[in-house]
Amino acid sequence: MSRFWSQAAQRCEPYVPGEQLNQPGIIKLNTNENPYSPSPAVVEAIETEAANQLNLYPSPTVDQLRERIADANELTKENVFVGNGSDEVLAFSFMAFFDQGKAIRFPDISYSFYPVYARLFNIPFKSIPLRDDFTIPAEAFFQSDGGVIFPNPNAPTSVYLELEAIKNIANQNPDQVVIIDEAYIDFASGSAVSLIHDYENVLIIQTMSKSRSLAGLRVGYALGNAELISGLTRIKDSFNSYTLDRLAIAGAVEAINASDYYVNITAKIIATREWSFSEMRKRGFTVLPSQANFLFATHASFPAETLYVKLKEAGILIRYFNKPRIENYVRITIGTDKQMQQFFHALDKIL
Ligand code: PMP
C-alpha cells in the first residue's frame, strides 16, 4: 500500500489473468480462446483499414458496428453499446447500474472479475452458493437489493441456465438490472437476447473474443433497451469518447458479416467438446455438462495442481482452481482435434 493511493486504489484486488506463454509448441488450453484463426475477411479488413485510415480518429459513436450488431440481432443501434472487450463493458455496467449502498448478487463460483469490480467501485455483494450439481439456483437471486449478474453458461463451470429461470429472475427483480454475461453463448443452446423486448431491466453482454476468434482485438458489446444503453453511453463518454480504435471497428464489422465462417468453427469446437467430454470420462474424470468452449472436471485420484504441473511440463497449459468446493477442479479449453489428441496423449502418460 502507498499513502498516495486513493481508497479505490487501496480497495483493489486486481484480477490475475491466465498465463500467456506464447512460446512455439505450447498448446494453450487455459484461457478459453478460440483455437482457429479469425476469418481471412476480418484480417483483410483490418489490413485495409491500417493502410488507409489510421491518421483519422475513429467514430466516437461507432455507428457502423452498432448497426451491424443490431441487424444481426433484430434490434436497432439504440439497443447496442460497444466496448474494448466485454470486460470493459462489464466495468461500465457496474458503474452505470449498481450502487454503493445496495448489495448485488452473483454466484459464489463465477467469473472472478465480478468481485474485483465490486470492490473497485465499492459495491457490496452477496455471493450465492451454486447447487450441489453446480446449477444456478434462480430463486436465490429473487428480490435482490442492488441487481444481479451471472454468466450464462457460467464460468468456470460451463453449466447453462434455461431461459425460463432467467425470466423468473428478471420478473423477480423489477426495479433492478439483471445482467447476463453471455461470453460463451454461441457454444450453448440459446441466447436470452429476445428477453430485452419484454424486460426493460435485462442487459445482455456478449464478446467477439470466443466464438468469433478475436480475443486479441478486444471487442465486446451490450444489448438492452435504449434506456439502459444510454446509461452506459453516459459512463463511456465521461471516460473515453472514442472507445474502439479503427482496426477493432473494421475487424468487428467484418466478423459480423463473416457469420458463416464463425458458425462453422463453432460447430467444430462443439463436436470436439463432445468427443473430449467422453474421453475425459473414460479416464475417470467427473465432467460437468458443458455448453461452453471448455470442460470443468475433477479426478478422484489426481490432484488438479499435479495435473496442471505435469501437463505444463509436457508443454500444455490448463487452469486449475484453489477456491473452496472447486479446489480439485481443472478447466480445459477446447482446442482443435489435433491439440486435444495431444492433450489426451500427455494425460495418459500422467494418469
Ligand atoms: N465474461 C466471462 C464469463 C469471461 O470468461 C470472459 C473471458 N475471460 C469475459 C467476460 C471477458 O472477455 P473479453 O473481455 O475478452 O470480451
Distance (Å, rounded) from C-alpha 32 to C-alpha 36? 12
How remote is the CA of residue 351 from the centroid of ligand 1, in Å? Answer: 31
- Name residue 220's beta-bridge partners: 83, 207
Split at pLDDT 50, 70, 90, the class of 266 is very high
Sign of CA dihedral 341, 347, 349, 351: negative
* pLDDT at residue 322 in the model: 83
Count of helices and strands (H, E) across the chain = 11, 13
220 close to ligand 1 (CB < 6 Angstrom): yes
pLDDT digits (tens, 9 = 90+) for 297-334: 999 999 999 999 999 999 999 999 988 999 999 999 99
Model confidence at 20: pLDDT above 80: no
Question: Is the distance from the beta carbon of residue 87 to the nearest atom of ligand 1 less than 6 Å?
Answer: yes
107 lines ligand 1 (CB under 6 A): no
Q: Report which secondary-structure segment, H or E, holds 25.
A: none
Share of the chain above pLDDT 70, in %: 100
Give one word for 325, left, alpha or beta, with left for phi > 0 and alpha for psi -120 to 50: left
Q: Strand (E) positions, 1-135? A: 27-28, 80-83, 104-107, 125-128
Which of the pair, 12 or 173, is modelled with greater confidence? 173
- The per-residue pLDDT for 134 is 98
Q: Are strands 148-151 and 178-181 parallel, antiparallel or unpaired?
A: parallel
CA of 87 to the centre of ligand 1 (A): 6
**Which atom belonging to ligand 1 lies closest to the Cα atom of 31?**
8
Residue 219, Cα to own-chain centre: how many angstroms? 11
Residue 325 CA to ligand 1 center (angstroms) comes to 22
Which triple of cell numbers denotes residue 125?
A: 455483494
Atom of ligand 1 nearest to the CA of 220: 16
pLDDT beyond 90 at 280: yes
Query: Is pLDDT above 80 for 23?
Result: no
Distance 159 CA to ligand 1 centre (A): 16
* CA 248 – CA 44 distance, rounded (Å): 12
pLDDT band for position 19 (cuts 50, 70, 90):
confident
Ligand 1: nearest atom to the Cα of 17? 8
User: Average model confidence (pLDDT) for the chain?
Assistant: 96
- Give the pLDDT confidence score for residue 240 in this predicted structure: 86
User: What's the average model confidence in pLDDT over 149-154?
Assistant: 98
- Closest atom of ligand 1 to 84 CA is 14
52 alpha carbon to ligand 1 midpoint, in Å? Answer: 31
Q: Read off the pLDDT of each residue in 181-186 and give the average, rounded to a whole number.
A: 98
Does the pLDDT value for residue 27 go beyond 90?
yes
Pairing assessment for the beta strands 80-83 and 220-223 based on DSSP bridges: antiparallel
Q: Ligand 1 centroid vs 90 CA: distance in angstroms?
A: 9
Q: Is 111 in the pocket of ligand 1 (CB under 6 A)?
A: yes
Closest Cα to atom 2, ligand 1: which residue?
A: 183
32 alpha carbon – ligand 1 mean position (Å): 9
Looking at ligand 1, which atom is closest to the CA of residue 154? 3
Identify the band that residue 267 occupies on the pLDDT scale cut at 50, 70 and 90: very high
Which of 15-19, 164-168, 277-281 has the lowest average pLDDT?
Answer: 15-19
DSSP one-letter code for 55:
T
DSSP string, 172-219: T-TTS-EEEE-TTGGGSS--SGGGGGT-TTEEEEEESSSTTS-TTT--
Atom number of ligand 1 nearest to Cα 218: 15
